[in-house]
Homo-oligomer: A and B are copies of this chain.
Amino acid sequence: MSWVNDANAPLLTDLYELTMAASYFAHGMDAPATFDLFVRKPPESRRFLIAAGLDDALHYLEHFRFDDDAVASLHNLGLFDEAFLAFLGQLRFTGDVWAISEGEAFFGDEPLLRVTAPLIEAQLVETFLLSMMNFQSLIASKAARVAIACAGREFVDFSARRDHGPDAALRAARASYIGGASATSNVLAGVMYGIPVAGTMAHSYVISFEHEIDAFRTFARDFPDRSILLIDTYDTLEGARRAAQVANELAPEGVRIQGVRLDSGDVAELAVGVRRILDENGCQSTRIFASGDLDEFRIAEIVARGAPIDAFGVGTQLGTSADAPALGGVYKLVEDSHGPKVKLSPLKITWPGRKQVYRFTVDGRYHHDLIALEDERVDGGRPLLRKVMANGRRVDPPEPLHAARERCRGALAALPERLRLLHGPVEEYRVDRSPGLRAAHESAVAHLRHTDAAP
């Protein structure tokens, strides 16, 4: 099978990055340029976004090289001359990168990543950076909404089977964890990222036994301290009785039923009955998990109804961000050797120049942000973009994943209350542009009008 890996990742690019690069190369156009990666306008249903994917992006940049196989593949396309192919063969990413840390909240137009590098390098990494940052930020943002809905209860990423392929599942687990999931069912994600793994049993397990209770007995004995029994294969309340019976039967052997899982029906209502059955049978410590087509809206409703559910398994809706399945991040040239750059479009303003984003907090809550030019003096705000790569090398070692998760937890706590609402109209978060940025924009536009805007 064909997999993306470190060696072939530079080929994971839109063809035009390479044809443009070839043209730049042919004409010696390789002076440093700066690109911003940002989301112009978050999806309608997203009041904030959570940054994720940076660690993978930096790894990619550190390992960026066209090896002999890659160069041979490009040669075979018949589009590129030998000089350019030889140039690609020795090319490394030597640029500087500034970025918003993983787990931090960000908003429309704010550079999530800022790349300054010789034009060709900066151009060639566009597609991959967008793919990685768009996707992981998409899922972290969705997970953060689920975390808000859970209101302190735990949720687990169950999405692998519905994600956009196995590799998407791996990264969805990572981004979900940053956004607030407490665990994942995805074993590889657990192994690679140290995310706690969790799991229960499938209906196929239950029906592999003649009697449901035999399935429960067997599984509980096999995993005496961490069995979660799926009780809805036949009849949920009857399943709860059988689980309680097994718990009491096997308690003398030291077996403890960690929990039961409801995967169908009105889980909020069923949970009340299940809790009563468990409690009446001495299983007060047995937790109730719910799963089955859950998203932040259904979870919020279940929580609002006061259902005695301790944790949620969230699959499809989390791992595909199904109500908003793509983040429209773009990667725009904002400065080159001729100065700040803009594209002229009536609907799409691109802000020129090297920027910093400042966050202003009042009484512990995010109040507004300011996008300014890097060299403007701004007081009182916390700069969100930090330098993460210099001359193609990471400035700091990769941070542990839980640090990003903690940052996200802090960001969610600091969001204005209105942005934590899951739906309904709200006043958008305020993102100001500095006087210097506005002046640079005016100036760049004026320059364009001077040259090319009029026929």
Contact = CB atoms under 8 A, between A and B. Distances in A.
B455 A238 contact: yes
A3 B453 contact: no
A79 B223 contact: yes
Contact of A12 (B4, B138, B169): B169
Interface in A1-54: 1-6, 8-9, 11-20, 22-24, 26-27, 29, 33, 35
B14 A199 contact: yes
A211 B452 contact: yes
Contacts of A320: 164, 320, 325-326
Contacts of A411: none
Interface stretch (A183-191, A299-307, A378-386): A183-191
A230 to B, nearest CB: 9
Nearest to A199: B15
A341 B226 CA distance: 28
A297 interface: no
A219 B20 CA distance: 8
A226 B23 CA distance: 13
Contacts of A2: 56, 170, 192-193
A297 to B, nearest CB: 16
A283 interface: no
A184 to B, nearest CB: 8
A163 B135 contact: yes
Interface residues of A, number: 121
Given A15-B197, A199-B19, A212-B452, A207 B341 contact: yes
A64 to B, nearest CB: 12
B343 A328 contact: no
Contact of A188 (B12, B79, B264): B12
Contacts of A205: 16, 20, 23
A136 B450 CA distance: 49
A59 B166 CA distance: 14
Given A13-B188, A316-B326, A451-B211, A23 B204 contact: no
A251 B198 CA distance: 65
A73 B195 CA distance: 13
A200 interface: yes
Interface stretch (A106-114, A125-133, A147-155): A125-133
A222 interface: yes
Interface of A: 1-6, 8-9, 11-20, 22-24, 26-27, 29, 33, 35, 55-56, 59-60, 63, 73-74, 76-77, 79, 119, 123, 126-128, 130-132, 134-136, 138, 158, 160-172, 185-188, 190-193, 197-205, 207-208, 210-212, 218-219, 222-223, 226, 233-235, 238, 241, 264, 316, 320-322, 325-329, 331-333, 336, 338, 341-345, 347-348, 448, 451-453, 455
Top 9 closest pairs, chain A to chain B, by CB:
A15-B199, A167-B167, A325-B325, A164-B164, A16-B199, A130-B161, A1-B59, A204-B333, A11-B188
